[in-house]
C-alpha cells in the first residue's frame, strides 16, 4: 500500500507527542483532565447539538435501534462521563511504580517498574463516550492515543476530541497526545492497521463482531480486545428463585446493547419445574423474546421459537435470549466453553462447591457468582472507566483500565559489577 501522507503525519506527531508526554508529571496530567471535565460541562449543549446530527443521520440510514441507543448522548450521560474522569483523576500515578524488586547474590538490585505502552490506536463504533474515556485513561497513563471512531458518531466524537485537545493546549501540553482521524475514508482504517507499526505500539478495537474480525485479520500491530460479548447466566438447582429472577432480568434487560448483556440462559433440569416458568414470565413482562430448546418449550404456554445451534452462537444485543435446559453445572460449563466468547458468565446458586466448580472451569475473563453479568464494566470494577474488555489469555485480561494500559521495564542498579 502506497504511503498515505495524512496518516503518516498523524503517526509522526503521535511518536513525538509520546516523547514529550514522558516528561509530563502526574500533577500536570491531572490538571489537563480537570480542565477537560470543565469543558464538558461548559460545552454540554454544543456536545448535544453535535450528537443530534449523528442521531438524525443514523435514523435516516435506518441503523439498528441498539446501535442508536449506544450512540445517544444526553445531560445524564455527559454527567456520567465527567464522573468517570473525576474518578480517573483520583487514581495514583500508575507510571514509575516499583512492581517488584529483589537483590541478587552479587549485590545487583533488580526492579520491575511500570511504564506507558507508548502510542495506542483505538478503533471503535457508535459510543461517543469511548472518545472521552479512552482519551482520559491514555493520558493519565502517559500514553498517546490515535482515535478512529465510527462514521455514525462522527460529529459527537469530533467535538469531544476537540475539547480534549483544547484542554491540552490550555495546560501547555502537546495537543497531539490525542488525535482524532477526521477523514471518513474507510481505507484509512486499513492503513492504520497495516502500515503504521513504526508509530503505533498496540491497537484496541471496540465494537461489533465485524469490526473486531477485520482488525484481527489485517493488523500488523499487537491487539488488545474481545471478539464479542456472548455472555451466559446459569441457574443452578440450588439457586434461590427470587435471586435468580433478579440476576437474570438485570443481566439481560438492564441494557441489552452492551457487551456484558446476557445472551443465553442455562437452567438446571433439576429445577425447571420450580424455576423455569417464573423466570421466563418475568423476562416476557419486560419485553424479552424467549428462544428455547425443546425441553424449555414444555414449560412455556404460548408460542416459542425452537433454538438452533445458531442461537447459541448469537450475540443478539436486543431484547432476545436463548434458553436451554442442562444436566447440572458440568453441562453448563461445557456449553459455555463451547459457545461462549470468554467474556463474562455467571452462576446463581447457594452451593459454594458448585459455584467453585463453575468459576474454576469456565474460560471466561470474568466469572461471577450470584450477581449480574452487567458488572462486566471498568467503572463497576473501580477503574473509573475502561478502554474495553479483553478476552485474551495473555495480559491484559478483563476490563482494561489504568493498570492495564501500562507495561514495565527492568531496572538494574549496581556498584560496578561485571559478569564472569
Q: Give the chain's domain count.
A: 2
With 80 as the cut, is the pLDDT of residue 280 above it? yes
CA–CA distance, 132 with 37 (Å, rounded to integer): 9
Same domain, 137 and 14: yes
Same domain, 197 and 250: no
What is the domain extent for residue 336?
Answer: 231-375
Helix/strand/coil (H/E/C) assignment for every residue in 355-367: HHHHHHHCCCCEE
Most trustworthy range by pLDDT among 20-24, 38-42, 60-64:
38-42
Q: Helical H runs in 99-240? A: 129-140, 154-170, 187-194, 209-218
With 80 as the cut, is the pLDDT of residue 388 above it? no
With 70 as the cut, is the pLDDT of residue 1 above it? no
- The answer to the question of residue 392 being in a domain is no
CA nearest 190: which of 317, 323, 7? 7
β-sheet bridge partners, residue 326: 268
With 70 as the cut, is the pLDDT of residue 274 above it? yes
CA-CA distances (angstroms) from residue 103 to 98, 107, 412, 414, 420?
Answer: 14, 6, 10, 10, 18
For residue range 71-114, what is the model confidence (pLDDT) as tens digits? 999 999 999 999 999 999 999 999 999 999 999 999 999 999 99
CA–CA distance, 132 with 24 (Å, rounded to integer): 20
pLDDT at 348: 98
With 90 as the cut, is the pLDDT of residue 393 above it? no
How large is the average pLDDT for residues 380-395? 79
CA–CA distance, 5 with 321 (Å, rounded to integer): 47
With 80 as the cut, is the pLDDT of residue 297 above it? yes
Same domain, 130 and 182: yes
CA–CA distance, 210 with 218 (Å, rounded to integer): 12
With 70 as the cut, is the pLDDT of residue 356 above it? yes
pTM for the full predicted model:
0.85
Contacts of 49 (CB under 8 A, 6+ apart): none
Same domain, 270 and 156: no
- The answer to the question of residue 380 being in a domain is no
DSSP per position, 15-41: HHHHHHHTT--HHHHHHHHHHHHHHHH
pLDDT at 149: 93
With 70 as the cut, is the pLDDT of residue 160 above it? yes
Same domain, 152 and 214: yes
- % of the chain with per-residue pLDDT over 70: 99
Tell me which of 73 and 300 has the higher pLDDT: 73
Contacts of 67 (CB under 8 A, 6+ apart): 58, 125, 126, 152, 257
pLDDT at 62: 85
CA nearest 402: which of 81, 92, 74, 187? 92
Same domain, 156 and 70: yes
- The answer to the question of residue 391 being in a domain is no
The position carrying cell 545487583 is: 108
For residue range 309-327, what is the model confidence (pLDDT) as tens digits? 999 999 998 999 999 999 9
CA nearest 18: which of 95, 113, 101? 95
How large is the average pLDDT for residues 250-273? 95
Same domain, 87 and 218: yes
Average pLDDT, rounded, for the chain: 93
pLDDT at 303: 84
Answer whether 196's CB lies under 8 Å from 11's CB: yes
Same domain, 215 and 281: no
Element (H, E) at 88: helix 75-90
Same domain, 99 and 197: yes
- The answer to the question of residue 141 being in a domain is yes
With 90 as the cut, is the pLDDT of residue 361 above it? yes
CA–CA distance, 217 with 398 (Å, rounded to integer): 22
Going by pLDDT thresholds of 50, 70 and 90, the confidence category of residue 212 is confident
Output the domain CATH number for residue 357.
3.40.309.10
How large is the average pLDDT for residues 113-138? 93
Under DSSP, is residue 324 helix (H, G, I), strand (E, B) or coil?
strand
- The answer to the question of residue 386 being in a domain is no
Answer whether 115's CB lies under 8 Å from 408's CB: yes
Residue 116 in grid coordinates: 506507558
- The answer to the question of residue 384 being in a domain is no
- The answer to the question of residue 385 being in a domain is no
- % of the chain with per-residue pLDDT over 90: 78
CA–CA distance, 370 with 348 (Å, rounded to integer): 5
Output the domain CATH number for residue 73.
3.40.605.10
pLDDT at 19: 95
CA–CA distance, 44 with 37 (Å, rounded to integer): 11
Element (H, E) at 244: helix 241-253
How large is the average pLDDT for residues 392-400? 79
pLDDT at 227: 65
pLDDT at 11: 96
User: Would you call 41 exposed, middle or buried from its count of C-beta atoms within 10 A (0-12, 13-18, 19+)?
Assistant: exposed
CA nearest 199: which of 16, 15, 46, 332? 15
pLDDT at 300: 83
CA-CA distances (angstroms) from residue 97 to 53, 143, 201, 380, 403?
Answer: 44, 16, 21, 24, 10
Tally of CB atoms within 10 A around 330? 12
CA nearest 87: which of 406, 400, 378, 404? 378
Same domain, 235 and 214: no
CA–CA distance, 420 with 416 (Å, rounded to integer): 13
Chain centroid to CA 193: how far? 19
Tally of CB atoms within 10 A around 152? 21
- The answer to the question of residue 126 being in a domain is yes
Tell me which of 32 and 216 has the higher pLDDT: 32
Give the lowest-confidence range in 182-196, 336-350, 375-389: 375-389
Same domain, 182 and 270: no
Same domain, 203 and 237: no
Amino acid at each position: 500500500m502506497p504511503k498515505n501522507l495524512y496518516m503518516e503525519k498523524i503517526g509522526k506527531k503521535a511518536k513525538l507527542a509520546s516523547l514529550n508526554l514522558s516528561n509530563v508529571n502526574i500533577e500536570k496530567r491531572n490538571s489537563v483532565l480537570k480542565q477537560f471535565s470543565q469543558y464538558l460541562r461548559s460545552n454540554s449543549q454544543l456536545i448535544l447539538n453535535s450528537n443530534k446530527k449523528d442521531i438524525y443521520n443514523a435514523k435516516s440510514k435506518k441503523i439498528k435501534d441498539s446501535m442508536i441507543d449506544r450512540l445517544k448522548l444526553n445531560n445524564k450521560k455527559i454527567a456520567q462521563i465527567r464522573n468517570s474522569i473525576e474518578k480517573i483523576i483520583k487514581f495514583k500515578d500508575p507510571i514509575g511504580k516499583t512492581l517488584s524488586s529483589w537483590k541478587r547474590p552479587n549485590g545487583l538490585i533488580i526492579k520491575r517498574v511500570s511504564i506507558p505502552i507508548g502510542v495506542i490506536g483505538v478503533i471503535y463504533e457508535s459510543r461517543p463516550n469511548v472518545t472521552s474515556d479512552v482519551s482520559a485513561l491514555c493520558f493519565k497513563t502517559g500514553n498517546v492515543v490515535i482515535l478512529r471512531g465510527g462514521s455514525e458518531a462522527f460529529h459527537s466524537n469530533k467535538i469531544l476530541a476537540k475539547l480534549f485537545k483544547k484542554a491540552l493546549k490550555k495546560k501547555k501540553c502537546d495537543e497531539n497526545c490525542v488525535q482524532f482521524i477526521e477523514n471518513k475514508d474507510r481505507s484509512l482504517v486499513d492503513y492504520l492497521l497495516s502500515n503504521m507499526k513504526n508509530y503505533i505500539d498496540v491497537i484496541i478495537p471496540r465494537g461489533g463482531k465485524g469490526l473486531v474480525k477485520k482488525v484481527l485479520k489485517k493488523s500488523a500491530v499487537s491487539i488488545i480486545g474481545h471478539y464479542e460479548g456472548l455472555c451466559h447466566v446459569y441457574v443452578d438447582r440450588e439457586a434461590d428463585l427470587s435471586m435468580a429472577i433478579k440476576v437474570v432480568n438485570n443481566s439481560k434487560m438492564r441494557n441489552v446493547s452492551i457487551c456484558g448483556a446476557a445472551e443465553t440462559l442455562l437452567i438446571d433440569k433439576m429445577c425447571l419445574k420450580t424455576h423455569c416458568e417464573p423466570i421466563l414470565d418475568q423476562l416476557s413482562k419486560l419485553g424479552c423474546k424467549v428462544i428455547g430448546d425443546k425441553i424449555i418449550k414444555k414449560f412455556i404456554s404460548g408460542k416459542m421459537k425452537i433454538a438452533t445451534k445458531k442461537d447459541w452462537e448469537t450475540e443478539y444485543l436486543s431484547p432476545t435470549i436463548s434458553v436451554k435446559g442442562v444436566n447440572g453445572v458440568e453441562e453448563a460449563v461445557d456449553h459455555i466453553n463451547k459457545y461462549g466468547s470468554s467474556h463474562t458468565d455467571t452462576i446463581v446458586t447457594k452451593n459454594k462447591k458448585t459455584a467453585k466448580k463453575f468459576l474454576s472451569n469456565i474460560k471466561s475473563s470474568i466469572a461471577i457468582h450470584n450477581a449480574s453479568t452487567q458488572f462486566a464494566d471498568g467503572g463497576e470494577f473501580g477503574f473509573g472507566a475502561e478502554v474495553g474488555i479483553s478476552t485474551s489469555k495473555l495480559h491484559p485480561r478483563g476490563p482494561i483500565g489504568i493498570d492495564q494500559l501500562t507495561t514495565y521495564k527492568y531496572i538494574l542498579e549496581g556498584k560496578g559489577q561485571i559478569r564472569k
